[in-house]
Structure 1
Amino acid sequence: MGEARERWSAARVGRRLAATRPALVSPDEADRHAAVTLVVRPGPRDLELLFVRRAEVPGDPWSGHMALPGGHRDAKDADILDTARRETREEVGLDLPRRAYLGRLDDLHPVTRRIPSILISPFVGWYDGAAGVVTNDEVQYHVWAPLGALRDPALRSEVRFADGGLERIFPSILWEGDTIWGLTHRVVMNFLDIISEKGHR
């Protein structure tokens, strides 16, 4: 059955994530370990993904970017999934239990002089509760973007960025005036590839 007729469910998303093996990186490869949550929910007609716009903070390489709830691991976190849960609770007010986390995506280990050595572990969290998003002072605002829009070739674009004197070009997705690019774009594309119908019938 096609996606337009079969409603998205946690079980459906979880099956597709379980059918893949994420590429993981040893925490020893980076100075710091962080986690983000790709929060998904069933919308009226499509699956929806949660994005936040980071607050403008001097010296923060992700200042003002569209991002996913997340942050660095603290010593008090039981594991890196606990980091993802805590940061999601703190930044957007969603207290997702461990059972709401459906799977893990590819780890990200960017190597660039612009940012410190960091390993980012993305998780997919399911949310279908009634409580609304409540952001803290690390976030300017949040948006929910439908899966169909993120897949739409008409909304694909590019970001040109000067890095070490060289211009680099990054793929991006445009959504209601915001640009999703960089590490967040990589997480989204990883998820879109897994969630697609191809190979998952």
Structure 2
Amino acid sequence: MSDVTWVERLRSALADRASDRIPEADFEFRAAVTLILRPSGGRGGPEGLFVRRAEVAGDPWSGHVALPGGRRDPDDADLLDTARRETREETGLRLEREDYIGRLGEIHPLSKRLPSICVTPFVAWMEADQAVRVNEELTGHVWVPVSALSDPAYRSTLVREPPAPRERPAIDFEGDVIWGLTLGIVEDFLNVLAAAPMRVP
């Protein structure tokens, strides 16, 4: 299957998720993130961009592997604008609205110790070859093959988070550990792929 055919099938599958919304009044904050996909980098099939967040005191997601994104600003026209702005600020990638092919189900932290925030995850396809240039909020980035996200070989249950390692479902891709809210978004994305059904090119 070509990348073009795969993207169009993914766009169609994501269209069915557009109604998975949580009422705005249920949360103090709204945020948006983007799962950015690009054609194969030579490792078999499309890849997704993940970023490494910097260590910041008081930030509950400090040091995590995550998706580019952040809280909605009053000047953002909508959550898609939030996703585009945050992606540009954090990674230097300039995505147009037409680069976005859909969104996944909204998600929020279950723990009362975390901020009252609802996250809208968008999916974008980046055809043009743009260089990632992370800002001071990040320490780096990694492109992960979509095929690796569902590969049992990369599944783990150990998250090395201070003050001590703990058992949590995770994806450990060559030392970059995806867990928590980001893993929830990835699992939702994989469910969309499985339900289509569609073979990763």
Pairwise same-fold verdict (TM > 0.5): yes
Letter of the 1:192 counterpart: L
In the alignment, the residues of structure 1 paired with residue 177 and residue 19 of structure 2 have an alpha-carbon distance, to the nearest angstrom, of: 26
Letter of the 2:58 counterpart: G
In the alignment, the residues of structure 2 paired with residue 114 and residue 133 of structure 1 have an alpha-carbon distance, to the nearest angstrom, of: 33
SS in 1 for 2:70: strand
Shift of 1:173: 0.4
Cα 1:22–1:40 change in 2 (3 A) is farther
Partner deviation per Cα, 1:76-99 (whole Å, 9 max, x = no partner): 000011000100010011111111
1:180 pairs with one of 169, 178, 181: 178
In the alignment, the residues of structure 1 paired with residue 116 and residue 147 of structure 2 have an alpha-carbon distance, to the nearest angstrom, of: 34
Letter of the 1:8 counterpart: D
Match of 1:73 in 2: 72
Give the unaligned 5+ runs of structure 1: 1-5
Q: What does 1:1-201 align with in structure 2 at a 5 Å threshold?
A: 6-9=1-4, 10-21=7-18, 23-43=20-40, 44=42, 45-159=44-158, 169-196=167-194, 198-200=195-197
Letter of the 2:150 counterpart: R
SS in 1 for 2:135: coil
Instruction: With a CA cutoff of 8 Å and minimum separation of 6, indicate the structure with the bigger relative contact order.
Output: 2
RMSD value, Cα: 1.9
In the alignment, the residues of structure 2 paired with residue 126 and residue 61 of structure 1 have an alpha-carbon distance, to the nearest angstrom, of: 29
Kept in 2, the 8 Å contact 1:40–1:124? The answer is: yes
Partner deviation per Cα, 1:37-91 (whole Å, 9 max, x = no partner): 0101111330100000000101100000000000000000000110001000100
Kept in 2, the 8 Å contact 1:22–1:107? The answer is: no
Shift of 1:27: 1.4
Aligned residues: 191
Kept in 2, the 8 Å contact 1:101–1:124? The answer is: yes
TM-score, normalization: structure 2?
Answer: 0.88
SS in 2 for 1:112: coil
